């Protein structure tokens, strides 16, 4: 359809046309955007991180450092947009389901109940802000998994189509969340949804064979004939297309019937390979022995390539298991309906590499932290988790979610596995933990406020560069390193430049250096004598530029 030329239209004609456009129905999701206090706060104050050093958990200096951030996840995600943009491989979240007051979905310090006229709009406004920030964090291989129930699954699907792209939707995983059957409902609800999106479906399709579950017998592999090679499944011996060298007669040894490949297909192997498989007992002719040839494929063969998971997950734990796991660690039931560790492990196994960063910004009781830590121990992985959760009173119990539930759980898991790691398992010692709280500095760009931002930037810079071990706390500068001998320098004002350069010359190490600057210059002319040692970046400009983009 040709585009209309509005250049010569009168005002009245343009008004009439605009009214027609407003009446048109659009495909997709539309809601009334509701202002949110935590987001509006960022118009006048900018989020930073402050470490609670008393809650640090140290294990092996050469192991990964995991992160727990206490605070509203909108502010935590804003910080992560600077420290972790484009680096997170896996995101799992279990957001509020918005069922009503019993779900405790809080918006602007008010629990949203079922009678609220704008219940869905508030939830969508809440989710939209956070998912947009989360998308920025995803690497090219990034994947996001979102647990939800029937209350908001339709709205969430359309919202995610809009944010991540409909073309990047992978699947709606149906999780059998409870085994018991309720008799007081029309249909007993036994499932939850997990919407699965990729950052790039094109990339995921190209690398799909990397995303497999290893060693999982999903019921397809059986061993009805007690084959010593283990469980197997029968695959058709014919395959698409016609290839003359793969067309030969196969005789059923029981009936004597001769089989040729069906029209338009061919046998999977050459005749010589077929004879080898037959001699090995890998060719069968159906359960009765009267059918066309089939090839045995063993579970051990499949494990090498991995198994594509089913879309219905009825072979992982339930919410009851999740409750029992948490109670076992903390000694009491402190959190309603936590996810089972096996569910998150399944997601981690399916979607991560051994060095992936895994984020959960609705961390709640900390199941994701436990799942990642335990799975690292199982496959000698080096995955890092980042957990974000608020510190609200949990369901009126008096227990604070971050301090009294999430952190103690992660601490117990790390300490328990550290004990197990003594001796034979010492190479599998778990990574440690840094505990941060969100804080704020004034947003107005005065010289004074820029100095304040730089003074408060240490934790963010250490997190971005993955350097946490303090080597030197000098006058107006600090030096950090990590277990891989990476070095970080932070220069807080003009007086720190010369003393830092003196130490850099002594250490003779390569440094990433953040230097205070009132503009976007990294002051290269002042570092000419150590230019071969330093990679310079201006602060606070590198942080402020990110905030300008996300808070515009």
pLDDT, residue 101, reads: 66
Distance, CA of 275 to CA of 270 (rounded, Å)? 9
Angle, vertex CA 117, rays to CA 115 and CA 118, nearest 5: 120
Query: What integer is the mean pLDDT of 68-95?
Result: 97
pLDDT, residue 307, reads: 61
Query: What integer is the mean pLDDT of 262-286?
Result: 89
The domains of the chain are located at: 37-213+308-438, 232-305, 444-550
Inform me whether the pLDDT recorded for 110 exceeds 90: no
Query: What integer is the mean pLDDT of 401-411?
Result: 95
Task: Say whether domain 37-213+308-438 belongs to CATH 3.40.50.150.
Answer: yes
pLDDT, residue 213, reads: 66
Least confident piece of the model among 92-106, 204-218, 436-450, 535-549: 204-218
Inform me whether the pLDDT recorded for 486 exceeds 70: yes
Query: What integer is the mean pLDDT of 202-208?
Result: 87
pLDDT, residue 251, reads: 92
Query: Are the CB atoms for 169 and 193 separated by under 8 Å?
Result: no
**Sign of torsion over alpha carbons 432, 438, 443, 449:** negative
Would you call 46 helix, strand, or coil by DSSP?
Answer: strand
Query: Are the CB atoms for 490 and 475 separated by under 8 Å?
Result: no
Give percent of the chain with pLDDT exceeding 70.
92
| 432 compared with 359, residue with greater pLDDT | 359
Query: What integer is the mean pLDDT of 18-37?
Result: 79
User: What band does 216 get if pLDDT is binned at 50, 70 and 90?
Assistant: low
User: What band does 196 get if pLDDT is binned at 50, 70 and 90?
Assistant: very high
Distance, CA of 358 to CA of 381 (rounded, Å)? 12
User: What band does 425 get if pLDDT is binned at 50, 70 and 90?
Assistant: very low
Inform me whether the pLDDT recorded for 428 exceeds 80: no
Picking from 207, 232, 210, the residue whose alpha carbon sits closest to that of residue 301 is: 232
Query: What integer is the mean pLDDT of 233-249?
Result: 79
Least confident piece of the model among 156-170, 187-201, 257-271, 429-443: 257-271
Largest CA distance in the chain: 94
Inform me whether the pLDDT recorded for 48 exceeds 50: yes
E-assigned strand segments in 237-356: 238-240, 250-251, 258-259, 265-267, 283-284, 294-298, 312-313
Query: Are the CB atoms for 266 and 243 separated by under 8 Å?
Result: yes
Inform me whether the pLDDT recorded for 74 exceeds 60: yes
Give percent of the chain with pLDDT exceeding 90.
60
pLDDT, residue 306, reads: 57
Query: Are the CB atoms for 135 and 165 separated by under 8 Å?
Result: no
User: What band does 424 get if pLDDT is binned at 50, 70 and 90?
Assistant: very low
Average pLDDT, the chain: 88
Q: What is the pLDDT of residues 525-543, one digit of tens each?
A: 999 999 999 999 999 999 9
Query: What integer is the mean pLDDT of 271-293?
Result: 90
Q: What is the pLDDT of residues 407-422, one digit of tens each?
A: 999 999 988 876 655 4
Least confident piece of the model among 25-34, 160-169, 339-348: 25-34
pLDDT, residue 407, reads: 96
Least confident piece of the model among 105-109, 409-413, 490-494: 105-109
DSSP letter assigned to residue 528: G
Inform me whether the pLDDT recorded for 318 exceeds 60: yes
């Amino acid at each position: 359809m040709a585009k209309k030329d509005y250049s010569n239209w009168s005002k009245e004609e343009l008004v009439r046309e605009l009214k027609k456009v407003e009446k048109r129905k659009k495909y997709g999701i539309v809601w009334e955007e509701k202002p949110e206090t935590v987001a509006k706060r960022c118009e006048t104050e900018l989020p930073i991180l402050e470490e609670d050093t008393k809650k640090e958990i140290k294990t092996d200096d050469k192991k990964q450092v995991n992160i727990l951030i206490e605070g509203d996840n909108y502010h935590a995600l804003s910080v992560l947009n600077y420290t972790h943009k484009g680096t997170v491989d896996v995101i799992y979240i279990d957001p509020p389901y918005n069922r009503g007051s019993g779900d405790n979905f809080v918006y602007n310090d008010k629990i949203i109940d079922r009678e609220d006229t704008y219940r869905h709009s508030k939830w969508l406004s809440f989710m939209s802000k956070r998912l947009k920030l989360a998308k920025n964090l995803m690497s090219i291989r990034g994947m996001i998994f979102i647990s939800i129930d029937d209350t908001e699954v339709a709205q969430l699907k359309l919202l995610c189509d809009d944010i991540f792209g409909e073309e990047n939707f992978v699947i709606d995983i149906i999780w059998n969340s409870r085994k018991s059957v309720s008799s007081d409902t029309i249909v007993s609800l036994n499932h939850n949804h997990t919407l699965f999106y990729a950052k790039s479906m094109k990339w995921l399709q190209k690398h799909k064979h990397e995303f497999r579950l290893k060693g999982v017998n999903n019921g397809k592999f059986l061993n009805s004939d007690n084959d010593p090679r283990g469980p197997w499944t029968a695959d058709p011996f014919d395959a698409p297309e016609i290839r003359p060298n793969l067309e030969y007669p196969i005789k059923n040894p029981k009936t004597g019937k001769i089989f040729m490949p069906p029209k338009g297909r061919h046998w999977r192997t050459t005749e010589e390979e077929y004879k080898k498989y037959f001699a090995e007992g890998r060719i069968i002719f159906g359960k009765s022995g009267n059918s066309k040839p089939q090839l045995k494929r063993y579970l051990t063969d499949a494990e090498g390539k991995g198994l594509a998971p089913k879309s219905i997950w009825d072979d992982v734990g339930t919410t009851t298991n999740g409750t029992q796991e948490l109670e076992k660690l903390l000694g009491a039931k402190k959190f309603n309906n936590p996810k089972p560790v096996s569910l998150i492990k399944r997601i981690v196994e399916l979607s991560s590499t051994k060095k992936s960063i895994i984020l959960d910004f609705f961390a709640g009781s900390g199941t994701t932290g436990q799942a990642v830590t335990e799975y690292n121990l199982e496959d000698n992985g080096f995955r890092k988790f980042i957990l974000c959760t608020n510190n609200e009173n949990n369901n009126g119990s008096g227990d604070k979610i971050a301090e009294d539930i999430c952190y103690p759980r992660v601490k117990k898991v790390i300490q328990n596995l550290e004990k197990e790691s003594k001796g034979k398992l010492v190479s599998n010692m778990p990574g440690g933990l840094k505990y941060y709280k969100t804080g704020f500095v004034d947003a107005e760009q005065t010289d004074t406020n820029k100095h304040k931002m730089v003074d408060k930037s240490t934790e963010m810079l250490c997190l971005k560069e993955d350097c946490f071990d303090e080597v030197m706390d000098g006058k107006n500068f600090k030096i950090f390193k990590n277990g891989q001998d990476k070095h970080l320098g932070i220069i807080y004002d003009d007086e720190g430049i010369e003393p830092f350069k003196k130490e850099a010359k002594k250490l003779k190490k390569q440094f990433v250096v953040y230097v205070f600057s009132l503009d976007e210059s990294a002051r290269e002319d002042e570092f000419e004598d150590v230019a071969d040692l330093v990679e310079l970046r201006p602060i606070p400009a590198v942080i402020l530029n990110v905030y300008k983009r996300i808070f515009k």
